[in-house]
Structure 1
C-alpha cells in the first residue's frame, strides 16, 4: 500500500474512483426510498451487510483464508462500530425529526472527520483544505435547500436532531479509524471483516426487525434493489473508500460526501 500511495498517478485515479463511489452512495438514498414501503430500514441494512459479506466470502476464502485474530477483530469492530452507531442513530432520529434536518446535519461529517484526523492520525488541515471544506459545506446546504435561505432559517432543533448529531459524531470517526487501524492487509480483507463485525453490531436492531418482516410479501423487485445496494453501495463503495483513505487521507475521502445531495 505504501508503494501505491507514493505514485501520483494513483492519486489522480483515486479521485476518479471516489467520484464513482459518491455516485453509488447517492443512488442508495433513491433506492432506499423505493423499497422503504416493503422492507424496514433496520432489516434492510442488516440484510444488505449479510449479502455483501456472503458475496465477498468465497473471494476472501480462496485468496486469503477466513482466519483472523482477536486483535484484528477488535480493529475491524471499532471501524464498523462507527458506521453502525451512525445507522442506529439515523433510524432512531427519523422518529422525531425530518429527512431534511438530517441531510443538513450530515454535511458536518467531513469537517468532523477532518478534526478527528488532525487529532488521531495527525493529518494537517491547511488553509486550502479548510477553505475547500467550507465551500463544500455551503454548496451542499445550498443544494439541499435549493437556494431558499428562508427555509434554512426556519429549521428548529429537536430531540431527533440531537440523536442524529451523535450519529454524525460517530460517522466522522470512520475514515480516521481506517487510516489508524489499517495494518497493510489487502483492502478486500478489511472490507470483509468490517462487514462481518458490522453484522454483529447490527443484530440487536436489525435482528428484531427481520422477525417482523412478512417475507412472502416482499416483491422480487425489492430483492433486486437489495442486491444492488449490497454489491454497489456496500461492497464496491466500502472497498473504494477504504482503499482511498491511506492514499488521499481521511478528510479528502470524506469530503466527497458533499456530492451526495
Structure 2
C-alpha cells in the first residue's frame, strides 16, 4: 500500500493538464475495478508467502497465462485450439525447468499446501486484471489517467483488506536504503509497468499480454548471469529457449 500511495502521489502531477482532469470522471470507476483485481493479486501473494515458498509461487505463476486463456473463452468468446493447448503446456514445462533450475530432486520434493491455494486465487485475480484491462478499455482513454484510477482502486482495496485482516501499517520501518527500494518499486514497477500493461492490453489483448509472463523466470536468470555472476546450466538454458519459442508461437497465433 505504501508503494501504491507513493505512485499515486507522483502520478497526481498529471492533473496539472486540464485534458487529464476532464478524463478522470469517465475513467475512475473502470480503473477502480481493474485496480481491485491488481491489488488482490499482491494481497494474495503476500498472504500466501506466510505459509508457502517462493519456489511454489514461482511454479504456480506459470499457470496465469493459461488461466487467462480459459477466461477469454467466457469474456471474449475466444477459442483455444489443440495447438495452443500444446504450446501452453510446453511453455509451462520450459518455464518450470528454469524455476526448478533443472534440478529433478527439487522438482520431486515439490508439494502443495494451504498457501498455494491462496496464491492460486491470487493468480486468478491477476488473470482477471488483464481481462478487465482489455474489456474496460475505451477509445480515447488517457493511459496515465487510467493508471491513476487503477492505483486509487488498488489502494482502497489494500486499505480495506488491511482493516479486515487486522494488519498494521508499520510504515516507520521503511527507512534508509529500504525507502529507495520502495521508491523504485513505485516508479518503475508500478507506474511504468501499469502504463505499459494498459497500452499493450489494448493492442495485444489479454491472452497475448499474459503470454509474456513465461519469459519472466528466463529474464531473471539471464540478468542474474550478467549482474551477479550466477551460472546457467545447459539444461536451464534449454528451458529458457523452450519458454522463448513457446511465447513467440503464442504471440503469433491468431485470436
CA contact (8 A) 1:82 1:174 kept: yes
TM-score when normalising by structure 2: 0.76
Match of 2:68 among 113, 128, 139: 113
Whole-angstrom distance in 1 between the partners of 2:174 and 2:123: 31
Inter-partner Cα distance in structure 1 for 2:34 and 2:180 = 28
Match of 2:222 in 1: none
Q: Does the C-alpha gap of structure 1 residues 79 and 211 become closer, same or farther in structure 2, counting only changes over 3 Å? A: closer
Q: 1:147-158 maps to which residues of 2 (within 5 A)? A: 147-158=102-113
| Conservation of the 8 A alpha-carbon contact between 2:23 and 2:145 | no
* 94-103 or 200-209: bigger deviation: 200-209
**Does 1:212 pair with 2:170?**
yes
Residue 95 of structure 2 is aligned to residue 137 of structure 1: no
Query: Residues 246 and 132 (structure 1 numbering): CA distance in 2 closer, same or farther, change over 3 Å?
Result: farther
Equivalent position of 2:231 in the other structure: none
Match of 2:157 among 201, 223, 236: 201
2:129 to 144, 157, 174: 174
How far apart in 1 are the matches of 2:190 and 2:126? 15
Structure 2 residue aligned with 1:227: 183
2:17 paired with 1:59: no
Task: Give the stretch that moved more between structures: 49-58 or 146-155.
Answer: 146-155
Separation (CA, whole Å) in 1 of partners of 2:191 and 2:4: 9
Aligned match of 2:43 = 88
Which residue pairs with 1:238 in the alignment? Answer: 194
Q: Which runs of 5+ in 1 are unaligned?
A: 1-45
Q: Partner residue of 2:116?
A: 161
The separation in 1 between residues aligned to 2:50 and 2:79, in whole angstroms, is 38
Using the alignment, how far apart are the partners of 1:211 and 1:191 within structure 2? Answer: 24
What is the aligned partner in structure 2 of residue 31 from structure 1?
none
The partner residue of 1:254 within 204, 210, 221 is: 210
Task: Tell me which residue corresponds to 1:97.
Answer: 52
Q: Is the 8 A contact 1:57 1:192 kept in 2?
A: yes
* Offset from partner CA, 1:124-181 (integer Å, 9 cap, x none): 4345544443232111111010112332222222111111111111111111111111
Flag the 1:195–1:113 CA change in 2: closer, same or farther, 3 A: same
Deviation at 1:74, TM superposition (A): 3.3
Cα distance, 1:198 vs. partner? 0.7
CA distance in structure 2 between the partners assigned to 1:191 and 1:53 by the alignment: 9
Does residue 192 of structure 1 match 2:152? Answer: no
**Alpha-carbon displacement from aligned partner over 1:206-251 (angstroms, at most 9, x marks no partner):** 57656434x2x54332121111111110111111111111211111
1:49/1:198 contact within 8 Å kept: yes
- RMSD of the TM alignment (CA)? 2.1
